[in-house]
Amino acid sequence: MTPDQMKKAAAIEALKFVKPGMNIGLGTGSTANHFIEALAAKVKEGLDIRGVATSKASEELAEKLGIPLTKLHTNPHLDLTVDGADEFDPEFRLIKGGGGALLREKIVASSSRYMVVVADESKRVKKLGKFPLPVEILVFGSKATIWKVERAFKHLKLDAAINVRRTKDGELFLTENGNFILDCSIGAIPEPERLEALLNSIPGVVETGLFIGICGIVLMGTPKGVIEFKRG
């Protein structure tokens, strides 16, 4: 079974948490797309739900497949969000943002009663940090902000290599909010909560890809099937 097949199996398994009448946050990325496709099949069978997309790509896919959509400002309290993750650890802490939608993903997930992460087994780590940590920053004053972010890592004695994200064409990547993303290669993060608090205290930092205290359930696809982890 390929990693993509494992992700798809986990995404299909997430349908068991969906109930009629729910408002559901729809994540962004290849794993979330599997869930959106599976959800759309249920909608075609008569399931009554509303989706809230976390990106234009997810919105376009949901609309194409016939999933009714609503807006977060219309329904600010969601029942469920299903999304992927770049990493998750035993404490249900995540790194997200590889696709560049971390801010909207975090707003939607934190507005939900609970968040279900679907992933393949390669995303499971003992300590976060193998995947570069995305940090979304304002374009205005970006050089000053990057300098402050560098200082924050040094303060925590973390040796970080920071790169401003670019597109495949070499252009500076802009989020749908018009911001830059810093990809911070750190290695193992010993204190994710402390790092998140420090980074979020910097003027110019919009949000980090650390999702802490948000995810309640992980569905992990493996060659032998889907394993469910539930936060106590």
Please identify every residue annotated as catalytic.
105
- Tell how far CA 16 is from the center of its chain: 20
Nearest 5°: CA angle at 41, between 25 and 80?
Answer: 20
Residues 6+ apart with CB under 8 A from 73: none
Whether the Cβ atoms of residue 217 and residue 114 lie closer than 8 Å to each other: yes
Q: Is 141 left (phi over 0), alpha (psi -120 to 50) or beta?
A: left
Q: What kind and span of H or E run contains 182?
A: strand 180-185
Alpha-carbon torsion, ordered 28, 169, 182, 213, to 10 deg: 10
Question: What residue type is 187 in one-letter code?
Answer: G
